Amino acid sequence: MPNDSTNINNKAVAQNTYDAIVVGSGISGGWAAKELCEKGLKTLVLERGRNVEHIKDYTGTTLDPWELKHHGNRTQQDKKDSPIQSKCYAYNEVSKHFFVNDEENPYSQVKPFDWIRGYHVGGRSLTWGRQCYRWSDIDFEANAKDGHGVDWPIRYKDIAPWYDYVEPFVGINGSVEGLPQLPDGKFLPPMEMNCLEKHVAERIKKEFSDGRRMIIGRSANHTQKVGDRGPCQYRNKCHEGCPFGGYFSSNSATLPAARKTGNLTLRPFSIVTEVIYDKESRRAKGIRIIDAETMKTEEYFAKIIFLNASTLGTASILLHSVSDAFPNGLGNSSEQVGHNLMDHHYGVGASGSFEGFQDQYIYGRRPNGIYIPRFRNISEKTKQSDYVRGFGYQGGASRGRQWSADGVGEELKDQLLEPGNWSMGIGSWGEHLPYYENKATLNKDKKDKWGMPTLDIDCEFKANELAMRKDMMNSAAEMLEKAGLKNVNTYDSMPAPGFCIHEMGTARMGRDPRTSVLNGFNQMHEVKNVFVTDGACMASSACQNPSITYMALTARAADFAVKELKKGNI
């Protein structure tokens, strides 16, 4: 349905007018809500799914496996209803209500693409992996230096103060390491490596002359209390919702902060169909939605609009927001909306066993692992001839149970009481280059239950990623072998794009309106009062988990937007 500024009900306009509208309540939408509300703007947050109340709606997470009907496992019915979602590591009998039903939320895979989604208040902030790593200028300068994609309109110095701003509120545990490719942040005390991890870290530092290091992961699990949140209870059940507030989520942190101001209005079951554009003012006027329960169309109006519906959700909204001024989608004269879709490629690494430390064990269920920061293509010494960019590793060591096929009955029970040998695995996350042909487009012939066009997703990993994967696998084995592990096995399961759940691109930032959608403040080049600060804004993917960068960009963009509003520029 095209935008039409005629036949407006002025009474409804007055009732439905706010200072700002935020579309989406996940990682970035929650931050947009917090910042705009705290700056005094009456802010409406539109969430397409149901409401989820912190603690109250974390059903089942306090139960032990034997108290659950399926002992926490996914069922055949789960796999039938959600063949894509149920493949996710975080999907289980308790957490599955934080994932969509695939049958009810169709899309088309032109090439294999696993779109993992959660449609509810808080979105994927309830189920994310919580790893938080800053980008450096190695990442922000990469496009300009090797010619892939467009140059980022910002550098590390532009975003560093905003990392500083968001990190204390997020509550990230980590260690200060002084690595140029992985800037340090404002950390809570780090979690502790176990004995084998410490051993491997020492050996990697000693055996390799290229500066590679193994450190404890930097995760948004609170090792100390953050306000009224936490600390982490080391249950490792984060994806089920944490009744202790032991990790950062929209539900436990940003949305309560926004609500505390008295400026927040949260509207669940609000499926955004388009941004309403006013051709005369050359600004967006508001948002049109379908109420998911009543199926009625409603309109809401505001001076500032933040799109935080996720990389693919935001692309869908922009492409569907057509008008005389923008027949190909809002702010899409560059024809970049929907394009340059990226995701980290992973599912490749190595594991092995270790003989030793028989007198030591692990305590608790640490919801965090180790991290090996990128060590390729960060200097002339580490430059590779067969691929550009780089990768990092995550993983950990553990000690399983003793078990023998010979034991039965009491003998088997006695065996299971004894710990087995130590083992360790490391898996790699690699950068995906921004290719224009990797894209999401509207399929107007295949509609969802609300009559909205679905997405056709056409995305793949190409030669650079495939060449990188060989190094990702072989380097993993080499590090474990040099650390003294035995029976080292490599693997490369090659999951499809999307499965890493780090999808980004589709409305990228850039310096030139002809080749990008957003400027250096996440503001649309062509529609000055619309901002995009979710994964859609990214001009490249780096190899670090991206969520903390979304948060910093969102806080920065909100600060800019309010200042521009006060100046009368938007």
Tell whether 150 is covered by a domain: no
**Whether 325 and 453 share a structural domain:** yes
Rounded-to-integer distance, Cα 407 and Cα 400, Å: 17
Residue range 89-123, pLDDT digits in tens = 999 999 999 999 999 999 999 999 999 999 999 99
**Mean residue pLDDT across the chain:** 96
What is the mean predicted confidence (pLDDT) over 333-357? 98
**Whether 322 and 376 share a structural domain:** no
Give the CATH number for residue 78. 3.50.50.60
**Whether 338 and 357 share a structural domain:** no
Is residue 7 scored above 50 in pLDDT? no
Q: How confident is the model at residue 417 (pLDDT cuts 50, 70, 90)?
A: confident
Residue range 118-133, pLDDT digits in tens = 999 999 999 999 999 9
Tell whether 112 is covered by a domain: yes
Rounded-to-integer distance, Cα 192 and Cα 72, Å: 28
Rounded-to-integer distance, Cα 228 and Cα 42, Å: 25
Cβ count within 10 A of residue 334:
20
**Whether 469 and 451 share a structural domain:** no
Which pLDDT score, from 0 to 100, does residue 3 have? 45
By percentage, how much of the chain surpasses pLDDT 70?
A: 97
**Whether 247 and 286 share a structural domain:** yes
- Write out the DSSP string of 408-475: -HHHHHHHHTSEEEEEEEEEEEE-----TTSEEEEEEEEE-TTS-EEEEEE----HHHHHHHHHHHHH
Tell whether 75 is covered by a domain: yes
Residue range(s) defining the domain that contains residue 234: 10-131+229-343+437-459+500-567
**Whether 116 and 185 share a structural domain:** no
How many independent structural domains does the chain possess?
A: 2
Residues 6 or more apart whose CB falls under 8 angstroms from that of 421 comprise: 353, 354, 355, 399, 400
**Whether 421 and 453 share a structural domain:** no
**Whether 196 and 314 share a structural domain:** no
**Whether 185 and 238 share a structural domain:** no
**Whether 185 and 237 share a structural domain:** no
Is residue 407 scored above 80 in pLDDT? no
**Whether 337 and 417 share a structural domain:** no
Cβ count within 10 A of residue 73:
11
**Whether 24 and 119 share a structural domain:** yes
